[in-house]
């Protein structure tokens, strides 16, 4: 079992650069706390492994997770990112521009994820990352499985939810929703799951061939 010191070492193993640190600070200031560096590095790694050209992100924030994803994607890849907050997306666009990513690589869509995701193409995406309304995670899962090609990956942030998911006495709506998400991912025969103890927990799954 890893000690807290080892978990901290793993979290910071791939450090953020100045652009990511600046974007992180923006997110904290506007109440949109981003993923931690370990989760970001994992997203970058996963996008690289699946040779991602088309990625959907639910929850743009201020661009931290999106930038990690872009850095792992193919040079001709497009990130589609959905968020209800126009100001967050404006700051995310600034982050992407500072990192040298042009508008052609990024499609920012304003609105509720559950209004936007059904309009996206079946089987048209290599990866989906969800970091938005936790009580909608089960609906995001349904949409993600539809959106992914076989071999594509879905990832959910906050999958350990501040150490509450592992504690059966915790029954608040967010914890219950995330706990149920884990059960659904673990028992879905279309998926091959993995829980990564990075950040606040990163639940990932590969969509298996039919």
Q: HSE on the CB side for 160, CA within 13 Å? A: 12
How many domains in the chain? 1
Average pLDDT on 166-181 reads 96
Q: Quote the CA–CA distance of 52 and 94 in Å, as a whole number.
A: 23
Q: What is the mean pLDDT of residues 18-38?
A: 94
- Return all residues near 171 (Cβ < 8 A) that are at least 6 apart: none
CA distance 172 to 195: 21
| Domain of residue 93, CATH code | 3.40.50.150
Query: Quick one: pLDDT at residue 1?
Result: 81
Tokens of 33: 């706390």
Pick from 107, 68, 69, 116: nearest CA to 89:
107
pLDDT at 2: 81
Confidence band for 102, pLDDT divided at 50, 70 and 90 = confident
Q: CA angle, corner 206, sides to 208 and 48, nearest 5? A: 125
pLDDT tens-digit map of 34-55: 999 999 999 999 999 999 999 9
pLDDT in tens, 60-98: 999 999 999 999 999 999 999 999 999 999 999 999 999
Residue 74's domain comprises: 4-207
């Amino acid at each position: 079992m890893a000690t807290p010191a080892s978990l901290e070492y793993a979290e910071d193993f791939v450090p953020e650069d100045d652009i990511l640190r600046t974007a992180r600070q923006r997110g904290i200031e506007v109440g949109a706390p981003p993923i931690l560096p370990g989760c970001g590095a994992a997203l970058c790694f996963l996008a690289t492994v699946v040779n991602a050209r088309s990625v959907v992100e639910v929850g743009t924030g201020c661009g931290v997770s999106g930038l990690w994803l872009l850095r792992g994607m193919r040079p001709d890849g497009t990130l589609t990112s959905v968020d209800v907050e126009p100001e967050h997306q404006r700051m995310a666009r600034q982050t992407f521009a500072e990192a040298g990513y042009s508008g052609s690589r990024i499609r920012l869509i304003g609105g509720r994820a559950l209004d936007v995701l059904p309009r996206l193409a079946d089987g048209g995406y290599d990866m989906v990352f969800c970091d938005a309304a936790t009580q909608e995670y089960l609906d995001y899962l349904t949409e993600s499985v539809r959106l992914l090609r076989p071999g594509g990956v879905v990832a959910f942030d906050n999958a350990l939810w501040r150490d509450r998911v592992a504690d059966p006495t915790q029954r608040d709506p967010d914890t219950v929703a995330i706990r149920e998400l884990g059960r659904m991912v673990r028992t879905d025969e279309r998926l091959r799951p993995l829980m990564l103890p990075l950040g606040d927990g990163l639940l990932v799954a590969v969509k298996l061939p039919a």
